[in-house]
Structures are given as C-alpha cells and as structure tokens.
Structure 1
Amino acid sequence: MRKTLFTASVLAVALAAPFAQAHQAGDVIVRAGAITVDPREDTSGVKVDANGANLGGGATLDSDTQLGLNFAYMLTDKIGIELLAATPFSHSVGVKGSPAGLDVLNGKLGDIKHLPPTLSVVYYPLDSKSAFKPYLGAGINYTWFFDESTSSSAEAKGFDGLSLDNSWGLAFQVGADYMLTDKLMINAQVRYIDIDTTGYTNLDDVGRLKVDVDVDPMVYMVGLGYKF
C-alpha cells in the first residue's frame, strides 16, 4: 500500500511539474555552479614596443575553472536581464613559436588573474509553463586583468613585469533551465565572449615587448538555480 501511494505521489509531481514552472515578470533567479573559461587565443607576433620590430611567435593562455554565479531578473515572462559573475580566474601565460631573439624563454612567462562580469538580455522562446526552458542571450562584457606576475624562470632569463590591458567586448550565449520544482532548477549554458587585450613585458637589452591577443574564450557553466 505504501509503495503504491509513493508511486502515485511521484507520478503526480511529474505530471504537475510542467504546469507549475512558469518564469514570470518580477522573478529573481540565482544560479551557482562550475564555470570554465577556455581561451581560443589568436595572437600577433611579439613586437618591440619602441620600434615596432616584429620578433614573431605569440602568446598562449591555459583554461581555468572557478565558481560561477548568475543573477537574473525577469522583465516579462520571456525576457530577462542577467549578470554573470565568478571567483577570479587564473591563467598561465606562455610564449610560443620561439620568437627571434627570445628563444631564451621556453614555455611559461607568468601568471594572470581576471574577472569577466557580463551583463546580458536573455530570451526564453518556449511556452512559459514548459519545465524545459532553453534561452538565448546577448550582452556586453568587461574583463579586468590583475595580479599579473612573471615566473621565476622568466625573471632568471631577463624578463621583468607583466601586464595586460582591460577589455570591453560583446558576449553571446545559449542555455537552458530544467525545473525540478517550481523553484529549483538545473542550468547549463555556453557563452562566447569577445576579449581583446595587449600584453606587455620587459626584457633586458631589448626593452618593452608587447603582443596583441584575441582571447575570445568559450565559457561553459553547469549548476543549480533557485527562483525567488
């Protein structure tokens, strides 16, 4: 008898779920989960800043995963605004291609941190009562680079200092909520963010070097959300 009642209760919740999940104007949605920034960098050659001489090669950035946070406010039942935030991302910066005159450095140049707050407008195209709620988004990103430092191995070879310009750029995303209850949801999202920066470092007997980097990462997040 108990098993029958339990099965009936589960079935009732499952049947009711699609009719109790509407996002509505005025809802506040908070999401948290793992977020990965995966740079797809495209760089210019390393240049001598004083005379523009191109030494070739380029820069590399590795991926990093941190705690991601989303805060969304529904303006209507289908349109909302969303802020992406995260704990600081850390990346190792390398030099590739053995730039002429820089073959003294093999691999890691240093480390950087950044924060990429992104403000977007999101659109939910399906019926608001559907438990599965895919959405599209577009917005603007500001990436703040900080805590840049050269590695000890790079410093031993004459490099000193590392800095990157902050960046403004567009951001695009696709994502989906799946409502577990009328408040709790699973969320997954993928973003493309346009991040362009110029990196600088100094090398003994050469002077300040610079390299233009289109970071342009893909950003992946999976987590849980709660609607207030």
Structure 2
Amino acid sequence: MKKQVLAAALLCSLVAGTAMAQQPAEGPWMVRVRAVHLGSTNGDSTGLGLELNDKWMPEVDISYFFNKNVAVELVLTVPQKHTLTSRGTSLGTLKHLPPTLMAQYHFEATGFKPYVGAGVNYTRFSSVNLSPGLDVDRNSWGPALQAGVDIPLGGKMYLNFDVKKVYIRTEVLSGGAGVGKFRIDPVLLGVGLGWRF
C-alpha cells in the first residue's frame, strides 16, 4: 500500500512538473488598451477663470519588463480636442497630445499584480483656435505619477485599472504677452485590457 501511495505521489509530481514546463513563460512585452476619463484640475493664474472640459479618450500603452518587478511604459493616445471656457463662456478650442514615459515597480501578490510608477510627460498643443489675440504656449513638460493593478484573466490577458496624475501647464498669451499660467494637471482614470507576450 505504501509503495502504491509513493508511486502515485511520484507520478503526480512528474505530471505537474511536465505541465509547468510546458506552460509558456510570459515575455517581456505588454500592451494595454484603455478607456480613460480625463478630469482637469483647471488651475488658473490669469484671472480669466479658465476651464478645460473633461472627456473620455482612448489610450494605448506599451510596456517592457526588465524583470518581474521593473518595467517602463510608454503612454500614447491621439490628439484630443478640448473647449476652453472663461467663466462658462467659450473662448474656442485646442488640441493636446500628451505622450508620457513611466518607470514602474510591479509588486508580487496572489491573484493580482499592483504597480506604481513615476515619469515625465510632454504635451504638445495644436490646432489652437481661440478668441482673437488669445493664444497658449505650444509645449509643456512635467512629472507624472501612476498607480494601478493588473488582474490575470488567463491566456496572458489581464484586466487593468489605472490612475495617473499628470502635470500639464501652459503660458496664456494675450496680444503676444504672457498673462499667466493655466494648469490643466489632469487626473486620468483608466480601465482596459492588457496582453503579455
């Protein structure tokens, strides 16, 4: 009886070991597709009461894992059109393109994979169609912070929840002269799917 139990245990361990060996390891790349809500902080030192509208936008993120804990992520989208208002009155529209590069640390947990990140954002303003004489500086550099979680769904697919704070600021110009800073500084709440390969 003891010999049979030992043989069965040995067989089970061999089968389990073979199954684990056959399971493909995750590669260093991960691509996520998210729906992201951009909520602007709307800080304004111009005295004009400037506000940029909130909106939903698509986001694609490409990550490279140096090891199981450390990764870098490039956050991409398409130029986003916004309406700029002054105390509820429209001043016109503009677009912004905000690629962000993040360094991330991924924690080890059972059933989910939380992470935190920090990096730098570059925002390019374009298609600026504002009231006559009114303009904005076209370039913005600022820090970015991030926290999120990847939940395995099987087949190297993950459900992702993510929040970012991105510091985007621009000089507001009237007649070519600076009149103050406008801080968009959005909070980005995202949900999406990721694929590891």
- TM-score interval (norm. to shorter): 0.7 to 0.9
Partner of 1:218: 187
Q: Does 1:177 align with 2:177?
A: no
Partner of 1:40: 41
Normalising by the residue count of structure 2, what TM-score does the alignment of the two structures yield?
0.81
Partner of 2:63: 72
Whether the 8 Å CA contact 2:164–2:188 is kept in 1: the answer is yes
Q: Any stretches of 5+ residues in structure 1 without a counterpart?
A: 1-19, 46-55, 97-105
Whether the 8 Å CA contact 1:64–1:90 is kept in 2: the answer is no
User: 4+ residue runs of structure 1 moved beyond 6 angstroms?
Assistant: none
Whether the 8 Å CA contact 1:35–1:219 is kept in 2: the answer is yes
Partner of 2:97: 115
CA shift digits 1:9-67 (9 cap, x unpaired): xxxxxxxxxxx8986xx51000112122211021112xxxxxxxxxx333111112211
Distance in 1 of aligned mates of 2:25 and 2:158: 12
Q: What SS class does the counterpart of residue 77 from structure 1 fall into?
A: coil
Partner of 1:144: 124
Q: Which has the higher strand share?
A: 2
Q: Any stretches of 5+ residues in structure 2 without a counterpart?
A: 1-22
From the superposition, tell whether residues 187 and 178 of structure 1 become closer, same or farther in structure 2 (CA, over 3 Å).
same
Normalising by the residue count of structure 1, what TM-score does the alignment of the two structures yield?
0.70
Paired residues, number: 176
From the superposition, tell whether residues 187 and 109 of structure 1 become closer, same or farther in structure 2 (CA, over 3 Å).
same
CA shift digits 1:53-105 (9 cap, x unpaired): xxx33311111221101100001111100000012211111113xxxxxxxxx
Alignment of 1:1-228 (within 5 A): 27-45=28-46, 56-96=47-87, 107-127=89-109, 130-150=110-130, 154=131, 159-160=132-133, 162-202=135-175, 210-228=179-197
